[in-house]
Amino acid sequence: MSLDAALAARLKRTADGLVPAVVQQHDTGEVLMLGWMDDEALQRTLTTGRATYWSRSRSEYWVKGDTSGHVQWVKEVRLDCDGDTLLVKVDQEGAACHTGDRTCFDADRLL
Amino acid sequence: MSLDAALAARLKRTADGLVPAVVQQHDTGEVLMLGWMDDEALQRTLTTGRATYWSRSRSEYWVKGDTSGHVQWVKEVRLDCDGDTLLVKVDQEGAACHTGDRTCFDADRLL
């Protein structure tokens, strides 16, 4: 099943056909990571309950946790006012970051 | 003054030379918006205390609040594990969204 046509028409994509997805822990408000979704990844995220991204480096769909076990259970999905950014609220099992950190922003504070 | 060379070397930019910046209210954890920064916008954000973006639609720097009065005072800036996303924690005066909503994600819940 493909993404609802009315929703697809509202998305503003990058030249690569992607929309950035800000991923936030639903209860603590931690920003966990930023992923990228095409229409298919968004459709899967909306319908399977598992956050699913398009991996720009591997050029494949990536169901968060399938390899690491660090599953993201989808609680809420929002589209921003311009239709060009998604906010995905999840329940993150374990570490969101491939480094083992809870979030991808833990290690490197610039200011 | 330009961006520190060691920091500039760590940034991974889109084809447009930009890095997405997730903007979060520092105390409540609300995700307010997503902006885009080039090296100069990041340098200004780090040194002026005012969140500054590159407007892709207007092709100009955009100091949040200069027109609207809805200033973002920068509290913290972080770079993610891949060097391709910034997290900017701010104290947002008034509405972050040009629609008057507190955040750009208030209006449109998909799930």
Q: What is the ipTM of this complex?
A: 0.97
User: B39: annotated binding-site residue?
Assistant: no
Contact B104 A20 (CB under 8 A): no
pLDDT above 70 covers a percentage of chain B that reads: 100
CATH architecture of B5-92: Roll (3.10)
Q: How far is CA A69 from CA A31, A58, A89, B96, in A?
A: 19, 19, 18, 35
B44 interaction partners in chain A (CB closer than 8 Å): none
Closest alpha carbon within chain A to B90: A111
Contact A104 B85 (CB under 8 A): yes
Cα separation, B102 vs B32, in Å, equals 7
The confidence score (pLDDT) of residue A1 equals 78
Neighbours of A87 (CB within 10 A): 25
User: A106: annotated binding-site residue?
Assistant: no
Mutate one of A55, A74, A80 to test the B interface: name it (highest B CB count within 10 A): A80
- CA-based nearest residue to A35, from A11, A58, A54, A13: A54
B10 φ, ψ to 5°?
-90, -15
E strands in chain B: 19-25, 31-37, 52-55, 60-63, 72-79, 86-92, 108-109
Q: Is A101 exposed, middle or buried (0-12, 13-18, 19+ CB in 10 A)?
A: middle
B65 to chain A, minimum CA–CA distance in Å?
17
How many Cβ pairs within 8 Å bridge chains A and B? 94
* B1: pLDDT strictly greater than 90: no
Contact B99 A80 (CB under 8 A): no
User: A80: annotated binding-site residue?
Assistant: yes
- CA-based nearest residue to A65, from A75, A73, A57, A54: A73
* B15: pLDDT strictly greater than 90: no
Q: What integer is the mean pLDDT of B54-81?
A: 97
Query: Which residues, other chains included, contact A100 with Cβ-Cβ below 8 Å and sequence gap of 6+?
Result: none
Tens of pLDDT, residue by residue over A73-107, are 999 999 999 999 999 999 999 999 999 999 999 99
* A15: pLDDT strictly greater than 90: no
